[in-house]
Structure 1
Amino acid sequence: MDAGGLQPQKHATVFYETGDRLCLNSSSCAQILPIAAIDSELLSAWQKLARNASEPNIFYEHWMLGPALKHFSVHPELCLFLFWAGAPCKSDLLGLLPVGPTWQLGRWPVPFVQNWGHHNSFLGTPLVRSGFENQFWTALLNTLDAKKWPGFLHIRGLTVGGSLDRALRSVCARQKRRCDLVHSVARALLESDLDAEAYFAETVRSKKRKELRRQAKRLSEIGEVKYSCHRDSTGLTLWIDEFLKLERESWKGQEGSALDCSGDTSSFFREALAGAAACGQLERHDLRLDGKPLAMLVNFLSPPGSFSFKTAFDDAYSRFSPGVLLQLENLKILSQPDIDWMDSCAAQDHPMIDGLWSGRRHIGRFSIELKGMSRTALFRTLRLGEDLMARIKRREIIDIMQEQT
């Protein structure tokens, strides 16, 4: 129980429907709110939910999701699913998930319902108040069963093995609906009781540690090296300008994937950082040589977790590994008392961060059956096809390996 005195309900059964709400146990309400209807009235409850979330997810906090919805393409039927303790906006918000219909699953023209994300969103775990995980999934699934959106539910970016994964599987088992983990990746996670120096010594082999110390020494021989960490909005606009320029001039700019390659992504980045700073959730690191930025790093904090969002470094100084040197400074997050872990938000098998962080976080995609004969038929046909394709692919890999031996 938190300071608000809320107690998780053991069961949440829909008993009537009115407009865009499904009301549960005569008090709790599930609401489908169109994106266009989001206003400041929701803000306070949203912030309180994020502070009490079972699993932190900065990508669905208001200061991150708001700019994303503003600058990136969204389907007209995209909504916020909101789970309230009582009347909407007059009670505590217990859960939130952006969700809506789509009609393309990979290369296949398949209709289904999916939680929303974008190219710079690296987690899709819903915001759910701790202790209400089962009630949230029950409300969401019952709401989608009643709504006329097509197909099945697809949840991307859910932490595998976390409290929300366990609750989802439990609810689906109780309701006798299939819930399949269809894909997962393992990405680097920083989590340890050690301090930065001890973690570095334990995780990184001695030869690599020696090489990094040599690179740091050589860099200091060129000019004045300075590491900085900022946790407020002082000089933020100029800092963002420098970050975007540094990233644009790197290999990311050459490939067209830098944030500043698009007005929408650069505006999103600026607004998200400003919003995070206003909420005290932004942490910025930089490594400078005679005042010139060689590496810059953006972290977002959502205690007890944190997220390493974006990094940029000067390719001209790659022989000194400035990005890695800055990540060594980032290990000091281990000493921050309110932070237990940091998600790298990196791709699986990342060549740099995987060698520095020994922990792994498994992130999965789940397909969940919705009620209705046509929905069930579509879901089971699709899953049968996916399983068949996976078996064929595994067989091809085995054949190739046998040929090579």
Structure 2
Amino acid sequence: MSHLPPASAFEVNRSHAWPMADTDQPTVRMVRHADLTADDRARWAALSAHAGAANVFAQDWFMDAALRHAADGRDAMLAVVSHHSGTWLGVMPLVTASRFGRWPARIWRGWSTTSQFLGMPLVAAQSADLFWASLLAFLDRQASGEILLHFGAFDADDPISIALLDRCRHEGRAFHIIHRFNRPAYRVGDDAADRSDAKVRSRLRSLLRRIERDHGSVAITIFDPTQPCTPWIDAFLEMEASGWKGRNGSALGSAPETEALFRTIIERGHENGSARLASLSVNGRVIAMSSWFESPSWGHGFKMTFDEEYRAYAPGQLLMREISDRIGRRADMSFDTCVPRDASNSHRLWPNNRRIIDGAVAIGSARQRFHFDMLMKARAGMAAVKACIAKAQK
């Protein structure tokens, strides 16, 4: 398939707003982050306050930092769906790409940074169907060879995700779930929300007694929200850099852009009251640190590190137990750990799951949708062949 158009063609085709036929319907426009006006930013912030509780990673303060500091942030376009009065109904950062996995294909892809654990757009729930109807129609009309919209890290049970799948069914628009997995979570109202693995908790109590016997008293500190957070950030980055991530060059401080992103996100989250910063110390020495975000209805895990000298005592899991207990005392807030279920035994502290999905939605003309169908069939055929080979090798 052909390559992406040059930058000049991209700007001509996509930098303007496209109103739908009925003037009472939303306006859709693509705008670069750098080109947002003060009015745009005010409307973005208003939408975040109204609709951002279930996805902190889509809120304006987080996404602004991500787009500023990520190496590919300048390539993203914000797809803004607005009411005719100018009020934002939803916004989704998008980029174009010339491949879908290993397959050559021109696509739109939801943009996210490496520190972003949900990819859903920021949308007012009551406007979700109107947002998707408007955005998909816009992408159909503006398509210059793109055959699909690739979305990633959506909560399968969130109203925004459900609205997308319902809209596709309503229009007869093809969509495919490409990947799905579960993340450990705590869900308010779930029958299992008051249960966690007793064996893991018993093990952690035993580890706590051992570390206190070997090294002294253990204390867990939640950082004072009225104090500057720079010392906490500095200590976190230093601890992470001293471990295996630092040796492998994958620590946050290993690259200027990832360090700047982390600093900015924690500083902004601390300033607006959503960030929670914690540390676990033994005999006065900090050996584990964690950060997460809280909104009125959802919490989201962010970054954790620990001192590898104390690995045998699982200090990160000891700290996670405290966080789990703290969240469990909040009767009104669900929590997404934002870590894979197989990441460590600490997942057993969380009795529920958050179902995460990646998928693809067909866009464009009948010809482009035919190419979409052929691509999905080719992927399915390749997967079937691989499964047969794997089965034969057992």
TM-score (norm. length: structure 1) = 0.86
CA-atom RMSD in angstroms: 2.3
1:137 is aligned to 132
User: Is residue 162 of structure 2 the alignment partner of residue 166 of structure 1?
Assistant: yes
Alpha-carbon distance change, 40 to 300 in structure 1, aligned in 2, over 3 angstroms: farther
Give the SS at the match of 1:384.
helix
Unaligned regions of 5+ residues in structure 2, if any? Answer: 1-13
2:95 is aligned to 100
Contact 1:95 1:128 in 2 (8 A): yes
Contact 1:191 1:334 in 2 (8 A): no
1:128 is aligned to 123
Give the SS at the match of 2:51.
coil
> Offset at 1:299?
0.3
Alpha-carbon distance change, 78 to 209 in structure 1, aligned in 2, over 3 angstroms: closer
User: Is residue 247 of structure 2 the alignment partner of residue 238 of structure 1?
Assistant: no
1:365 is aligned to 358
- 2:243 alignment partner, one of 245, 250, 260: 250
Contact 1:193 1:334 in 2 (8 A): no
User: Is residue 188 of structure 2 the alignment partner of residue 175 of structure 1?
Assistant: no
> Offset at 1:394?
2.4
Contact 2:71 2:257 in 1 (8 A): no
Contact 1:55 1:125 in 2 (8 A): no
User: Is residue 371 of structure 2 the alignment partner of residue 378 of structure 1?
Assistant: yes
Return the letter of the residue paired with 2:45.
Answer: Q
1:345 is aligned to 338
Taking the aligned partners of 1:129 and 1:20, their CA distance within structure 2 comes to 20
Return the letter of the residue paired with 1:213.
Answer: R
Give the 5 Å matches for 1:319-358: 319-331=312-324, 332-339=326-333, 341-358=334-351
> Offset at 1:315?
0.8
- 2:287 alignment partner, one of 294, 315, 332: 294
Contact 2:53 2:295 in 1 (8 A): no
Give the SS at the match of 2:114.
coil
Return the letter of the residue paired with 2:28.
Answer: A
Alpha-carbon distance change, 336 to 205 in structure 1, aligned in 2, over 3 angstroms: closer
Give the 5 Å matches for 1:7-86: 19-23=16-20, 25-27=22-24, 28-53=26-51, 56-74=54-72, 78-86=76-84
Taking the aligned partners of 2:171 and 2:224, their CA distance within structure 1 comes to 46
> Offset at 1:342?
1.1
Return the letter of the residue paired with 2:103.
Answer: W
> Offset at 1:296?
0.5
Contact 1:54 1:130 in 2 (8 A): no
> Offset at 1:102?
1.1
Return the letter of the residue paired with 1:270.
Answer: R
Return the letter of the residue paired with 2:123.
Answer: V
1:186 is aligned to 182
Contact 1:231 1:282 in 2 (8 A): no
> Offset at 1:146?
1.5
Give the 5 Å matches for 1:253-272: 253-272=246-265
Return the letter of the residue paired with 1:26.
Answer: T
Which moved further from structure 2: 166-175 or 185-194? 185-194
Return the letter of the residue paired with 1:70.
Answer: R
Taking the aligned partners of 1:49 and 1:230, their CA distance within structure 2 comes to 29
Return the letter of the residue paired with 1:20.
Answer: A
Alpha-carbon distance change, 80 to 359 in structure 1, aligned in 2, over 3 angstroms: same
Taking the aligned partners of 2:337 and 2:233, their CA distance within structure 1 comes to 20
2:300 is aligned to 307
> Offset at 1:24?
6.4
Unaligned regions of 5+ residues in structure 1, if any? Answer: 1-16
Which moved further from structure 2: 362-371 or 307-316? 362-371
Alpha-carbon distance change, 231 to 388 in structure 1, aligned in 2, over 3 angstroms: farther
Return the letter of the residue paired with 2:76.
Answer: L
> Offset at 1:39?
3.8
Taking the aligned partners of 2:316 and 2:206, their CA distance within structure 1 comes to 15
> Offset at 1:47?
2.5
Taking the aligned partners of 2:210 and 2:16, their CA distance within structure 1 comes to 67
Return the letter of the residue paired with 1:118.
Answer: T
Return the letter of the residue paired with 2:319.
Answer: L
Taking the aligned partners of 1:277 and 1:18, their CA distance within structure 2 comes to 34
Taking the aligned partners of 1:127 and 1:213, their CA distance within structure 2 comes to 41
TM-score (norm. length: structure 2) = 0.88
1:6 is aligned to none
Alpha-carbon distance change, 347 to 24 in structure 1, aligned in 2, over 3 angstroms: farther
Give the SS at the match of 2:137.
helix
Return the letter of the residue paired with 2:187.
Answer: E
Return the letter of the residue paired with 2:68.
Answer: K
> Offset at 1:370?
0.7
Aligned residues: 375
